[in-house]
Amino acid sequence: MIEAALTILSVCALLVLSQLSPGPDLFLVVYTAMSRSFRSACMVVTGITAGFAIQTALVCTVGTQIMDQPWSRWLLVAAALWLLYLAWKIFPRKFGAVEIDASPQVKPGAGALFLQGFLCNVLNVKCLLFISGLSLGPIGIYGDAIPWFTPALAVGLILSSQFGWMLWSWLLQRQPIRAFYLRHAPAIDATFAVLLAIFAILIIAE
């Protein structure tokens, strides 16, 4: 029992650390946290976690069998198109000084930010494979012997996703980081946009 609980904690800690690895979710969170408010970043993060919850539920039930379906290729195409759209939205239209709106009003709307985060994650089919890599091994070891293990692991992963993204968003709100973004916003936004487009091209090429 204790070993199973420690395994869940280890997997959840690994998830939080792995959120800093390059990927669409990270780029969207960093961009939103630095260019907007913490509240805006939290809405994006919550959307990402909602998509993550769906993918986690799939892994804990049908696992990677989804990728064996003939229609899975269309999921990859949809994911690539969405990433290209995000890249187009993020790419700066003009260069110059940037001002961060410190007002409590969320711009764009909270629903739109949530949807951006949700689609960014749920259309990232590679996230499904990543969750599988984290959880299928422990589930194979403890899932049959301990009835509560798989549900507890799924809940732990979902809560860790939300906590981790909110933690990184909060850290990105610190003044030195925000000041750096203000000085170099166009270059940073353009870099994020190009990286997202590269991810989209790689998805289509596979």
Residue 96 confidence (pLDDT): 52
Residue by residue, DSSP assigns 17-55 as HHTTSSSHHHHHHHHHHHHS-HHHHHHHHHHHHHHHHHH
Please state, in angstroms and as integers, the Cα–Cα distance from residue 105 to each residue in 38, 60, 109, 113, 173, following that order: 11, 38, 9, 13, 17
Query: What's this model's pTM, rounded to 2 decimal places?
Result: 0.74
The residue assigned the tokens 């990677």 is 64
Please state, in angstroms and as integers, the Cα–Cα distance from residue 196 to each residue in 40, 83, 90, 95, following that order: 20, 6, 9, 20
Residue 91 confidence (pLDDT): 82
How high is the mean pLDDT in each 10-residue block of the chain (206 residues)?
90 87 83 88 96 90 64 70 76 59 56 92 79 80 88 94 94 85 78 78 70
Residue 176 confidence (pLDDT): 87
